[in-house]
Structure 1
Amino acid sequence: MSGAEAGLVIGLISGIISIVEATWTIYSDLRDTKCLPRTFHQTAETLPLVEDTLRIAQGYIDKHESTEESCKAMKPILEGCKTKIERLQNIFGEIAPQPDDSRFASYRKVARALGNGSRVEILMDGVLKDVTALVQNHGIKTVTCESLKKLAKAMEDLSALPPSLEPEDASSHISHYGSGDIHHAGGDIIHGNHNEYHGSGTAHFGNVIHNGISGNERKTKLLGRLFTSPYEDRKNRNPPRVQGTCEWFTNHPHFRRWQEKEGSAFLWVSADPGCGKSVLARYLVDEKLQSTTAPKTICYFFFKDDFEDQRSPESALCCIIRQIFIHRPELLTWTIVKVFEEGGETIFSSFSSLWGILISSTGGHAPGDIVCILDALDECEHIGRRVLMKALNTLYVTSSKKSGLRFLVTSRPYANIEREFQTLKKECPKIHLSGEHETVVDQISTEIDLVIKQRVKELGAEIQLQAEEVKMVEEELTANANRTYLWVYLIFDAINESLHFTRNGLATTIHNLPKSVNEAYHNILSKSRNVDTTRKMLHIIVAAERPLSLQEMAVALALEESHRSLADLGLELEAGDRFKKRLRDVCGLFVTIVDSKVYLLHQTAREFLIQTTSPNAFGDARLALQWQNSFSPMESNRILSEICIRYLLLTDFENASAARKGHVFFHFAARNWAGHFRAAKTKNREDIVLSALMLCAASERRSNWLRTHESAPGYYDDLTQVTSALIIASYLGLDVLVARLVEMKGVSITSRDCQWQRSALSWASVGGHTSVVSLLLKKRPGFQNVLLNWIHLPISVNLKDAKGHTPLWHAVCGGHKAVVKMLLENKAHTFDDEIGGAPLSNAAGNGHLDIVRLLLDTGADNNEEYTWPLVQATISGHLDIVRLLLDRGAHSNGPNGSPLVQAVLGGHLDIVRLLLDRGADINRQDGWPLIQAARSGHLDIVRLLLDRGADSNRRDRWALAQAAGSGHLDTVRLFLDRGANSNGRDGWPLVQAARSGHLDII
C-alpha cells in the first residue's frame, strides 16, 4: 500500500480514536447516574477496549505494508465504524448536560428521534463487529487472540442484557450497523418499516433519513440557507490593489502584532473615504493572509449601504458561519444542524442566536486559527452595528471563554464607532490602527503618489508625452492636498477625455482638473445630454434594495405607463450591449458594472446624490444643485415602486404559468414593490395607490407575486390562500392601503387567515409596522354591531393564533419596541401562551433590554416558570438584562440552580459573578457549576467559584478529573494549588489525563 493510502487509513483510525476518547470523557459525567439502564453503562464501559484495539491496529498499519485491495476493504469498515461512534458521542453529549433525574428521559427522546437502531447497545454492537472485522480479515497480527476473545465477549455480554429502551413499533427508519459502507439505493422509505443490517460487508439501502431528508442533504440545505448575500461577488466589486500599495498597513506594528500574536486578537482599522480600505480588505483576504505559513481559515463580509443584504449584521454572521463550515466541515456538527432546524426561519434573523453559534462552533479551535474580516463597519445599519460592536467588546474584554476567532474590522473614523470601541481600547491600546493619523496619512499619500506616477507613465507612453511633460503632470497631480485613490481614478478619466491637446493645452487641462471627488462627480454628471434619463437611472440605482442586472435595469428604464403586456414592453427594450453602452454614455464613471450588475462607483457617490438635513452638506457651494444632494429618498422610492407595480400589473402575470417562466424583472418587482411603496410615504400618487390595492386583492395575480416574495421566509406560501386584502396590506406594512381598506364596506379587521389564524393586527406586529398597528388599534367595527364594537379592542389585542401566540408575542420576538409599547398601552396581556412562550422570556433571551423593561413596568411575571426569563437571558449572555431581572425580583437559583449553571456553560464571567453576589448557591446540584467550568476550561470562572467557596473535592473530585481529561493545564494547576485531591476516586483525574494523552497534565 502506498504511503498516501496508508496515511488515509491511519487518519481514519486516528479520527475514530479521538471520538472514542471524547465520548469516554462525556461518559465520566454519567457514570454515577442511577436512572440510566445497566445496558447503557455496559455499552460505555466497552469504549476503552475499542480504543485499545484500534491503537494496536493503527501501530501495525503504520509499520507494515498492506496490499491495495486490503486498503480498499479497510476504508468502508472504518467509515462505518466512525459513523456509529459519532452517533454514540452525539447521544452521550445530549444526555450529559441534563440533571441526573432527567437523563433517561433525555436518552429516550434522542434515541427514539433517531430510530430504534440508535439504542446505544446496537450502535456498540456494530462498532465491535467493525473492529473485529478489521483485525481478523486484514492481517492485524499484533492483535492477540486474547484481545479478540475480549471483543467477542463484549458482544456476547451486550446481547445478554435487556434493551436499554423498549423497541418503538412505528419507527420510520433504515439503518446499518454492521461493517462496511452504506449506499443510497434510491426510492421512498415507507412509514412503519424498520430495516437493520448487523453483518459484515456492504449494505445497500438508504442513508439515515430525518423527516424525509438525508443527513448530507440537511447540511447542504443549511449551507444554502446561510447564503444570505453573494459575499464573494460583493468583495470582488472592489478593484485589486496596485503593486506597492497597502504597505502602510501591512508594515505597521499594530498589524504585525495582530498577525503574529498567539491566540485570538482584534484590530480596528479606520481611514477617511477614498483611502482604499475596501481594496485593502480584499488584498488581505485574497493574498496577504493566504500567504502566511500557518494555515488559517479566512472569512469575510463587506458591508455596503447600497443594499439590504449588505448592511445587516445578521446577514454578515450567516455568511461568516457559512464560510467557516465550508472550509472546516468538521465544525458543522449534528448538534448545530439541530439548533438551526429547531430555530426555524427566525434563527437566521436573530443576532444573539447566530453569534452564539459562531462562538460555540469555533470555541474548541486553536485560538486565532479562524480570521474574520469585516469591511466598512460604518455602512452596517445603525442599531445592528451597536449590537455587533457590543458582542465584539464582550468577546475580547469580558468573556473568559477561549475564542478561536481573530477579527479585523475597517471603518471610517466616526466618533460613534470610536465610542463603542472605548472599552476595548482601554483594555488593549494597540487594537486601533488609525489611517487618519498624520504619519499614516503621509504614508498613504506616498502610496497614492506611486499610483499617480504609474498612471502618468502609462499615459505618457500612450500619447507620447515628453519627459518634461510627464514631470509637469506628476507634479500638478501630486501637489493636490486632497488626493485619494478615488480622486486619482476619476481625474484620469477626465484626462483621457482630453487627449488631443497642445503643450499649453495639456497644462491648462491638468490645471483645471477637479480638485475634489465631489467636483469630479459634478463634472461627470453635468456632461449628460439627457438629464431626465440620467436622473431616472440614478433614482432607480439609489433606491434599489439589491443591485439590478443590466437586463433588469433595461426593463425598469423602458417600462411606461401605457404598457399593458410584455409584448408592449419588448418593443421598447434595448439589446444588452447597446444598453450597456448607453448606460455608460449617460452616467459616465458615476456608475460601474461588475458581473453584469449595476452599482454606483463608490459610497461617496451615493452621499453626493442623496438629500440631507443640511442641503449641499459636502461644502462645494459653487456646484449646481441639479446634482449634489438633490435626490430625495422618498422620490427615488416612488419612482421605483411605480415601475414595480406597473410591471406586476401587466396582463401576462394574471396566470401562474407566465410568472413561473422567469421573466427578467418579475422576481425583483414581486419581492420589493411593497418596500419601495412603503418608503415613498406621502409621495405615492392616487393612481398608484389604486394599483397597489389591486395587487393586494385576492386573485391569481396576487398569488403569483406573493409566492415569489421573500422578505420574511416561511409565511408566503401560506398567505397565497388568504382572501383578505387587509391582512396582506397589514403584513406588508402598507399604512396608506390599510387606511383605505378599513373604511371600505365589508372589510373586517377581526378576520383571520386560514392557515395561521392570525388577525391583521398580528401580521402587522410580526413586521413591526408601527403605523399599521396604530391604525388597526384605533379602528372600531361599524355601528351595525354594537356588541362587537364594545368588545372589539381587548379581543383584537389579545387574539391568539393557531399556535397560541398573541400580537404582543410576535412584536416582542421581532424586537419591535414601538409596537410592543403601543400594544401594552392598549391592554395587551403579558402572561404565558399555551405552549410556554411568554413574551418576557422571549425578550430576555433575544437581548431586547428596553422591551424587557417595558414588560416589567407593565406587570409581566419575572419568576414565571421558575425564573425562565432569567435563564434565557443568562444563556444568551445578556448581562444588563440579567441585572435588571434580579433587580426586579427574579430568583437567582431557579430550578436546580440553572441560571448559574447556564452562565458557567456560556463562559459569562460577569454574569456568574453577579449571580453569586445575588445569592446563587455555588454548591447546588452537588457542585455541578464548578464541574462544568472545569470541563469547559473557563479558568477565570473556576478561580471565582473557588474564591467564593466551591468545593473541588465533591463528587469524587470530578471537577479536577474533568479539567484533566479536557486538557486544561492551567485549571488543573489551580485546583492542585487550592488543595484538590489528585488521587480521588482511584486516581480518576490521572486516568482521565492519561486516556486523553495530556502528557503535560500527567
Structure 2
Amino acid sequence: MWKLQTKQMEEQEKILKQIYKLKLDDLNTREAEGEDGLRDKVIECLIGDYPEQKDANPEAVENTCRWFLDDSRFHKWRDSTTSSLLWLYAGAGCGKSVLSRALIDEDHLIHAGRVMTSTVCYFFFKDLDNRNCGADALRGILHQLYTQKLHTNLISVAYDANKLYQQKLGSMFNTLWDLLLTTSRHPAAGEIICVLDALDECQADARKALLDKLVQFFNASTKDSNPQQPCIKFLITSQYREDIDLRFAKLEPASNFIKFPGDDLSDLLRREIDLVIDQRVPEKVPKLNQQSQLLLAKHLKSIEHRTYLWLHLILEEIEEKFPSNSTLSRIKMLINELPSTVNEVYEGILHRSPDPKNIRVILQIVLAAKHELTVNELIVAWHVTRSNQPRSYQDLDLPDEGCRETSLQSICGSIIRIVDSRVMLIHDTARQYLLQRPQSAQPPVDQDKSVASAATTSVWRHSFPLVNCEHLCAQICMTVLCFSFDNRDCPWIMVRDSVKYPHDNCEDKLEKLHLLNYASTTWAEHLRISQDISSEDEICRAASICDSKQRLFNIWFPVYCWSQCFLQLGNEPSIMVASLLGLSRVVEQMSSDGADVNAKGGHYGTALQSAAAHGHERVVEILLKLNPPAEINAVGGQYENALQAASAYSHEKVVEILLKYNADVNAGGGYYGNALEVASARGHEKVVEMLLAEGAELNAHGADYCSALQLASFHGHEKVVEILLAKGADDSAQGGDHCNALQAASEGGHAKLVQILLQKHKAKVNATGGYYGNALQAASEGGHEMVVQILLDHKAYVNAQGGHYGSALQAASALGHERVVELLLHNGAKINFQGGEYGTALQAASEGCHETVVQMLLDAGAEELTMSDASSILLVWDDYSSTCESTTGPKRNSI
C-alpha cells in the first residue's frame, strides 16, 4: 500500500511539473504581450517627428564643417569617456544647424575606437510652441534612446512613470529629466550623446529650467567618484545669449565643460562658404557660360560678411533672376543689383510680392501661429479674413487643394518655405526682421553697417506688432469655432467624458475640418495675449464660446481637454472655463453678469483652482477681489485647493498672491496631502521655501508617503531634501508607505541622495517600518543595484525580516532583479528564509515566472518546491490567467 501511495504521489508530482512548464510557457507569452503593450505606450507618449525636424536643414557640402570637425576642442569633447558639455555659439546664418545635421548623419560624434556602446539623440529647437520647450527636447531624446535600444530592456525604466502619468508624461519636464538620469544609470544605457541645436530658440523659462538642470547635473558629476556613474554628453549650439553664458558660468571649474565661440573662426567659415559657392553657382545657373559663372562666384566671394544664410537666400534670387541667354554686360549689371545683406534680401522678396495686402495678412498668421500650420490650415485661416462673417467652410470659397501651395508661394515668394505641407518662415532671422521690437529693446548691431541707412527706409522691417498678429489669429480661431458643424462631422459632441473620448477614431474627421483642431487648442492663448486690444463684441463672443451650455462648447472643449490630457470632464461652469483659459476680461464680464464664482465642477473643481493651476495671475487677482470673493480655501478638483494647484506647477507669483490673501498654507486633502507636499514631490525649491516661510508644517502627515521629506526623497529632489532638513524636518519620522526618508529614496533608486542621507544626515540604515520593512528591501524591490550596494556598505542587515516581502532577497526575486539577487546572495542572504508574501525567495521567483532567478536560487542551494507549493503556485497562475482573459482588450498596433 505504501509503495502504491508513493508511486501515485510521484506521478502526481510529475504531472504537476508538466503543468508547471505549460503554465510557465503560457505566462511567459502573456508577460511578453504585456511587455509589448507597456513598450508601445511609452513610445506613443514620447513620439515626435524628430528626423523631419533635422532633415529640414540642408545637407553639408563636401569638405565643409572642417572648422569644427578638425578643432581640438571638439575632439576633446568627443573623445571624453565621462559626462561632458560643449557649447558652440555663433551668429545667425553661419551654418550651425547644417553642422548639427552633418554631425548626426555622417557619424562624427562617436570616436572610432570607443569601446562603450554609444547612442546619438538630438533635438532641433524652433521658435514655435511645439518645438521650443525643454520637455519637447527631453521627450525626443528619450524616444530616440529607447527606440534605438529596443533589443535591450532599457525602455522598462519608463514603465512606472508611464503608468503613473500616462500621456501627461510627455509634457512633464522635471519627470522627464529624472527619467533621463535614471535611464542613463541602467546597465544597457552606455554612452548617451545629445545634440541640442538652436537652444536660443527655446522659450525663455524653459531654457532657464533646462540650463539649471544641466548645470546641476555636471556639477554633481564632478563630485561623484563612482566609476559606474552615467555618461551623458551634450553638444549645444546657439547664437550667443548672455543668459546662457551666465548659467554656464555657474559650472564648477572641474566640470567637463568646453566653450566654443564659433565667431572667432570667421575666416575659416568664409573659406568654407567659398567652397559652397563654387559648387552651388553652377547648379543654380547651369546654362550660364563658364565666364559668367566665374564672375558671379567671384562677386559672391567678395562680400565681406557673407554667411550661409545669406548665400542660401541670394542663390534663390540668382536662380530666379539670371536668364540663361544674358550677355556678359547684362550679367555684370544683375550682379551689381544683388543684395549684400540678409535684410536687403528679405526686403527685396517682400517688395516683389504681387499682393502686398494679402502677404501681410498671411505673414501675420504665420508669425503668431503656435506651431507650423499646414497648407490647408493656413489657406482656411487666410480665407476667413477675406470672407464676410462666414458661417461654414462653404462660405470661404476655398481654392482647389491642388493649387493651394502654389497660391501661397506666388504671393509670399521665398520668405516662406513649405516642407511636408507645413508652412514656415525661411529662417528665424526673418521673424526677427518682421516683428516690431519692444520699445525698450536696443537696436541690434548690424553686421554690415554700410546698409544702416537703407534699413531705416524699409517698408517691412519691424512692421508687425506681435499683439496685432495674435489678435488676428484670435479673431480667425473664434470664427472657425462658431461654424455650423454636423454631428457626423464631430462625433465627439455626444461624448463628454474625456476618458472615453474616441480621439483615435476622430483624427480623420478633425484632419478634414481644417483649422478646427488648431482653433480649439489655441484660440484662448491668442485671445489672452491680445485681449487688451479686443473689442467688447469680441469679448462677448469669447464668453459665448466659453458657455458650457452652448452646443458649440461641445465641439471645441473636448478637443482642447484631450490635448491637455484632462481625465475629468462634465459640469464645467462657464466662469471656470474662462478662468482655466486665463481670459481675464471674460471672467470680469461673467462675474458682473452674476456668474457664481464658487460654482464647482470640471477637472480642477473651481474657477480659482483652474486659474491657479495654469498660472493666470491676473485672473486669480480678479477672482479674489470680487465682492463676494472666490473662496480661497474651497476644496475639490484635481489638487483639492488653489494653493496646492499653484504649488504643483511652480507658479510662484500665484502662490505669492494666494498667501497674501491668507490661503491656508496647511490645508490638507487630495492625492499629495498639502501644498508643501506637492511642491516637494515635484522639486519646486522656490515654492517650498515660500511655503515654509509662511508657516507650512514640516512634518505634517498626509498622502501615502506621509511627509514632504519622504515625497522629495522618493522623487530624488536633493535640493528640496536639503532645504527641508535644514528647516528641521525629521528624517527618521515613522509613517506612510515608506516609513522614512531613506526608505523613500531607496525605493526611488536615488543613489546620491541615499549617500547624502546616510553620510551627512546620519539616517538609520536599518530603521524598520512601512510597506517594505526597511530601506534594503525597498531598494531590492526596485532593482536598484547601486543603492543596494550603498546600503550594504553602510551595514544594512541583509537578512532583516519584515515588510511585504519578508526579506530583501524575496523582494528582488519576486520582481526578477537578477543582479540584485546575485549581490544579496554574495553578501550572505539566507536563501531558504521563510516568511513574507511568498514564503521563500524561490516561491517568489517561481510565481513571477523569473526563470533565470529560479535557476540562480537553485544553484545557490534553495530547497526545491514541494508538491503543495507547486499546487499553490498553479492556483495563483490560474487566477492570474483568468484575470488577464477578463481584462485584456484588443492590442494597439506598435508604433
TM-score by length of structure 1 reads 0.69
Query: Quick one: distance in 2 between partners of 1:729 and 1:389?
Result: 34
Query: Quick one: distance in 2 between partners of 1:523 and 1:583?
Result: 17
The CA deviation string for residues 530-550 of structure 1, in whole angstroms up to 9 with x for no partner, is 222111111100111111111
- Asked if 1:384 corresponds to 2:220, the answer is no
1:381-780 matched pairs, under 5 angstroms: 381-399=203-221, 400=224, 402-424=229-251, 426-428=253-255, 431-436=258-263, 438=264, 440-459=265-284, 461-466=286-291, 469-500=292-323, 501-559=326-384, 560=386, 562-566=388-392, 568-571=394-397, 573-613=398-438, 614=441, 617=444, 619=446, 620-623=452-455, 624-652=457-485, 657=490, 661=509, 662-697=512-547, 698-710=549-561, 713-715=564-566, 718-719=569-570, 721-722=571-572, 724-745=573-594, 747-753=595-601, 756=603, 758-780=605-627
Per the alignment, do residues 633 and 155 of structure 1 end up closer, same or farther by CA in structure 2, a change over 3 Å counting? farther
- Asked if 1:887 corresponds to 2:738, the answer is no
Moved more, 448-457 or 501-510: 501-510
Moved more, 365-374 or 352-361: 365-374
Per the alignment, do residues 867 and 591 of structure 1 end up closer, same or farther by CA in structure 2, a change over 3 Å counting? same
Query: Quick one: distance in 1 between partners of 2:431 and 2:473?
Result: 16
Query: Quick one: distance in 1 between partners of 2:784 and 2:604?
Result: 45
Query: Quick one: distance in 2 between partners of 1:749 and 1:982?
Result: 63
Instruction: Identify the residue that residue 173 of structure 1 maps to in structure 2.
Output: none
The CA deviation string for residues 452-480 of structure 1, in whole angstroms up to 9 with x for no partner, is 111233356421242xx444333322222
Per the alignment, do residues 983 and 874 of structure 1 end up closer, same or farther by CA in structure 2, a change over 3 Å counting? closer
Once superposed, what is the RMSD of the aligned Cα atoms?
Answer: 4.3
Moved more, 251-260 or 822-831: 251-260
- Conserved? CA contact 2:184–2:190, under 8 Å: no
Letter of the 1:751 partner, please give it: A
Query: Quick one: distance in 2 between partners of 1:473 and 1:824?
Result: 68
Query: Quick one: distance in 1 between partners of 2:753 and 2:138?
Result: 25
Shift of 1:575: 2.4
Shift of 1:441: 2.7
Instruction: Identify the residue that residue 799 of structure 1 maps to in structure 2.
Output: 634
Letter of the 1:566 partner, please give it: S
The CA deviation string for residues 935-982 of structure 1, in whole angstroms up to 9 with x for no partner, is 967599959x97xxx4589869x999x9xx9989xxx9xxxxxxxx99
Query: Quick one: distance in 1 between partners of 2:453 and 2:685?
Result: 44
The CA deviation string for residues 838-896 of structure 1, in whole angstroms up to 9 with x for no partner, is 21111122121221111111111111238722233334443332332222221233338
Q: Which runs of 5+ in 1 are unaligned?
A: 1-148, 161-175, 181-197, 782-791, 973-980, 987-991, 997-1002
1:955-966 matched pairs, under 5 angstroms: none
Per the alignment, do residues 853 and 477 of structure 1 end up closer, same or farther by CA in structure 2, a change over 3 Å counting? same
- Conserved? CA contact 1:178–1:199, under 8 Å: yes
- Asked if 1:230 corresponds to 2:77, the answer is no
Shift of 1:901: 5.2
Of 40, 53, 62 in structure 2, the residue corresponding to residue 220 of structure 1 is: 40
- Conserved? CA contact 2:578–2:586, under 8 Å: yes
Query: Quick one: distance in 1 between partners of 2:639 and 2:243?
Result: 41
Per the alignment, do residues 502 and 325 of structure 1 end up closer, same or farther by CA in structure 2, a change over 3 Å counting? same
Shift of 1:677: 0.9
Instruction: Identify the residue that residue 498 of structure 2 maps to in structure 1.
Output: none
- Conserved? CA contact 1:862–1:885, under 8 Å: yes
Instruction: Identify the residue that residue 183 of structure 2 maps to in structure 1.
Output: 361
Per the alignment, do residues 483 and 879 of structure 1 end up closer, same or farther by CA in structure 2, a change over 3 Å counting? same
Query: Quick one: distance in 1 between partners of 2:656 and 2:856?
Result: 57
Query: Quick one: distance in 2 between partners of 1:157 and 1:872?
Result: 50
TM-score by length of structure 2 reads 0.77
Instruction: Identify the residue that residue 318 of structure 1 maps to in structure 2.
Output: 139
- Conserved? CA contact 1:707–1:716, under 8 Å: no
Query: Quick one: distance in 2 between partners of 1:498 and 1:612?
Result: 32
Instruction: Identify the residue that residue 197 of structure 2 maps to in structure 1.
Output: 375
- Conserved? CA contact 1:909–1:941, under 8 Å: no
Query: Quick one: distance in 1 between partners of 2:490 and 2:784?
Result: 56
Query: Quick one: distance in 2 between partners of 1:715 and 1:504?
Result: 67
Letter of the 1:243 partner, please give it: E
- Conserved? CA contact 1:656–1:700, under 8 Å: no
Query: Quick one: distance in 2 between partners of 1:502 and 1:862?
Result: 84
Shift of 1:208: 6.9
Query: Quick one: distance in 2 between partners of 1:274 and 1:899?
Result: 51
1:233-312 matched pairs, under 5 angstroms: 233-289=52-108, 296-305=118-127, 307-312=128-133
Moved more, 417-426 or 672-681: 417-426
Instruction: Identify the residue that residue 30 of structure 1 maps to in structure 2.
Output: none
Instruction: Identify the residue that residue 861 of structure 1 maps to in structure 2.
Output: 697
Tell me the number of residue pairs that the alignment of Structure 1 and Structure 2 aligns.
771
- Asked if 1:351 corresponds to 2:182, the answer is no
Secondary structure, in 3 states, of the residue corresponding to 2:193? strand
Secondary structure, in 3 states, of the residue corresponding to 2:321? coil
Shift of 1:652: 3.3
- Conserved? CA contact 1:843–1:851, under 8 Å: yes
Per the alignment, do residues 290 and 393 of structure 1 end up closer, same or farther by CA in structure 2, a change over 3 Å counting? closer
Query: Quick one: distance in 2 between partners of 1:463 and 1:153?
Result: 94
1:784-795 matched pairs, under 5 angstroms: none
Shift of 1:428: 4.0
Per the alignment, do residues 839 and 348 of structure 1 end up closer, same or farther by CA in structure 2, a change over 3 Å counting? farther
Higher radius of gyration, 1 or 2:
1
Per the alignment, do residues 157 and 632 of structure 1 end up closer, same or farther by CA in structure 2, a change over 3 Å counting? farther
Letter of the 1:626 partner, please give it: V
Query: Quick one: distance in 1 between partners of 2:829 and 2:52?
Result: 58
Query: Quick one: distance in 2 between partners of 1:334 and 1:368?
Result: 15
Instruction: Identify the residue that residue 124 of structure 1 maps to in structure 2.
Output: none
Instruction: Identify the residue that residue 7 of structure 1 maps to in structure 2.
Output: none
- Conserved? CA contact 1:655–1:704, under 8 Å: no
- Conserved? CA contact 1:897–1:921, under 8 Å: no
Query: Quick one: distance in 2 between partners of 1:903 and 1:219?
Result: 26
Of 908, 914, 920 in structure 1, the residue corresponding to residue 763 of structure 2 is: 920
Per the alignment, do residues 348 and 599 of structure 1 end up closer, same or farther by CA in structure 2, a change over 3 Å counting? same
Q: Which runs of 5+ in 2 are unaligned?
A: 1-5, 447-451, 494-505, 801-806, 832-852, 858-895
- Asked if 1:851 corresponds to 2:687, the answer is yes
- Asked if 1:808 corresponds to 2:643, the answer is yes
Query: Quick one: distance in 1 between partners of 2:789 and 2:182?
Result: 17
Letter of the 1:484 partner, please give it: T
- Conserved? CA contact 1:930–1:952, under 8 Å: no
Letter of the 2:187 partner, please give it: H
Letter of the 2:483 partner, please give it: L
Letter of the 1:540 partner, please give it: I
- Conserved? CA contact 1:892–1:915, under 8 Å: no
The CA deviation string for residues 610-647 of structure 1, in whole angstroms up to 9 with x for no partner, is 12223754544532353112211111010111011112
Shift of 1:651: 2.5
Per the alignment, do residues 457 and 741 of structure 1 end up closer, same or farther by CA in structure 2, a change over 3 Å counting? same
Shift of 1:279: 1.6
Moved more, 804-813 or 252-261: 252-261
Secondary structure, in 3 states, of the residue corresponding to 1:497? helix
